[in-house]
Amino acid sequence: MKLSPAERSYLHDSLALQPPIRPDARSPAQFRPLEASISFLPSSNGSARIRLSDGSECIVSVKSKVVLTANVSSLILVDVDVSGYRDDSNFVSNLNYHLQSILNSHFPTAVLRLTSRYSFKIFVDCVVLLHTSYPLGLLSLTTYLALKTTSLPKLVSEVNDEEVEEQPTFSDDWDQSTPLIPTNSTFQPPLLFVVAVVGDNVFIDPSREEQEVSENGMIIGYETQGVISPFNNISLSDREVKGMKLLHVIKAHLLVKKCGEEVLKALNSVAKDEGGNAIF
């Protein structure tokens, strides 16, 4: 995004103030309002779509496939496609990596086990139709919703197939399907937050212009228990990145801890909503 030097210094100075002034007057812990819809793809086990007020949009689909547990290296595969970017570009590979690694380390693959030989493999396909700021936060929220609303077909064949190998068969009755993440489970999928650093201040969900003038950025993971790994720094603008102080790290940690709980609550209430499943 092109900004004039005057615009840059205006934005930077506003953000570096104590207390900071964000260009849309949000508080440092405030997200931009989102629109979300779920379960609009009948051919996928789970689907979710989130759109921001500036037009950024992401659609995530979760599909399952029965595999021989021994034959696969991982039971969750994430694939990210960003409109306008090559699939092998650094930008897309990095996004893919972050989402994949947090799911690899913080997802109970035990729920995917069907029998002693077979398991479900789930494919999380993300499509970013449009993005203005770094889309990792958007991707993470949409992925959370898609996973929360995913249901898998119910196994009707024998669970114990040690002796006799048997291809798993499933109930045709979709009402019998089980949610991937049971409602009574304590587990919630992990989230990733993007934080921008300007001066001594940190901001959650930075907009494109805030990113442009930021001096540094962070990617921070969150789960119900609290802040988890990763806790990486990332350069959000293509200008020179300034170093980070311990102060930034502490502030960002507190910020994510504060927001994380509310974000989870908001997402969970969307996931519970049984209302009409239209995409728009």
Partner 1 sequence: MDCITISKPAASHYDSDSDMSDVETGTTSSGLNASVVTPGELVTDDPVWMRGHGTYFLDEKTYSSVAGTISRVNRLLSVAPLRGRYTPETGDHVVGRVTEVGNKRWKVDIGGKQDAVLMLGSVNLPGGVLRRKSESDELQMRNFLKEGDLLNAEVQSLFQDGSASLHTRSLKYGKLRNGYFVNVPSSLIVRAKNHSHQLPGNISVIIGVNGYVWFSQTQSANPSYNASLNKQQAALSSGSSAYTPGQGSVSITRLEEESSWEIYSDVNDDIKPTVRNTITRYSNCIKALAHCEIGITEQRLVAAYEASTAYESAGALVEREVMESIGEDIINAEKMRG
Partner 2 sequence: MSNIEFYSAEGLRMDGRRWNELRRFECRTNTHPSSSDGSSYVEQGNSKVICLVNGPMEPENRSQLSTQKATLEVNLNIASFSTTERKKRLKSEKRTQELITTLERTFEQAIVTKIYPRTLISINIHVLSQDGGLLASCTNAVTLALIDAGIAMYDYISAVSAGLFDTTPLLDLNALEENVMSTLTVGIVGKSEKLALLLLEDKVPLDRLESILAISIAGSHRIRDIMDKEVRRHGKVRLSKSSS
- The residues, ordered by sequence, that sit 6+ positions from 195 with a Cβ below 8 Å of its Cβ are 202, 203, 204, 206, 217, 218, 219, 220, 252, 255, 256
Cβ proximity to partner 1: between 32 and 63 the closer is: 32
132 is a contact residue toward partner 1 (CB under 8 A): no
Q: How far is the CA of 241 from the CAs of 139, 198, 262, in angstroms?
A: 24, 11, 30
Q: What interhelical angle do 136-148 and 246-272 show, nearest 10?
A: 40
Q: Of partner 2, partner 1, none, which one sits near residue 56, judging by CB under 5 to 8 A according to partner kind?
A: partner 2
Cβ proximity to partner 2: between 7 and 125 the closer is: 125
Q: Which amino acid is at 127?
A: V
One residue of 3, 7, 29, 63 binding partner 2 per CB under 8 A: 63
CB of 144 to partner 1, least distance (A): 11
**Which of 83, 84, 42 shows the shortest CA–CA distance to 61?**
42
Q: Of partner 2, partner 1, none, which one sits near residue 79, judging by CB under 5 to 8 A according to partner kind?
A: partner 2
Cβ proximity to partner 2: between 87 and 165 the closer is: 87
Cβ proximity to partner 1: between 54 and 79 the closer is: 54
Spell out the long-range contacts of 156-165 with Cβ–Cβ below 8 A and sequence spacing 24 or more: 157/115, 158/115, 159/114, 159/115, 160/115, 160/116, 161/115, 161/116, 161/117, 161/118, 162/116, 165/117
100 is a contact residue toward partner 2 (CB under 8 A): no
Vertex 238 angle, CA 236 and 242, to 5°:
70
DSSP 54: T
CB of 261 to partner 2, least distance (A): 30
Q: Which residues bind partner 1 (CB under 8 A)?
A: 2-7, 9-11, 13-14, 17, 21-27, 29-37, 50-51, 53, 204, 258-259, 262-263, 266-267, 269-270, 273, 275, 278-280
Q: Which residues bind partner 2 (CB under 8 A)?
A: 41-44, 53-57, 59, 61, 63, 65, 79, 81, 83-84, 86-87, 123, 125, 127, 129-130, 279-280
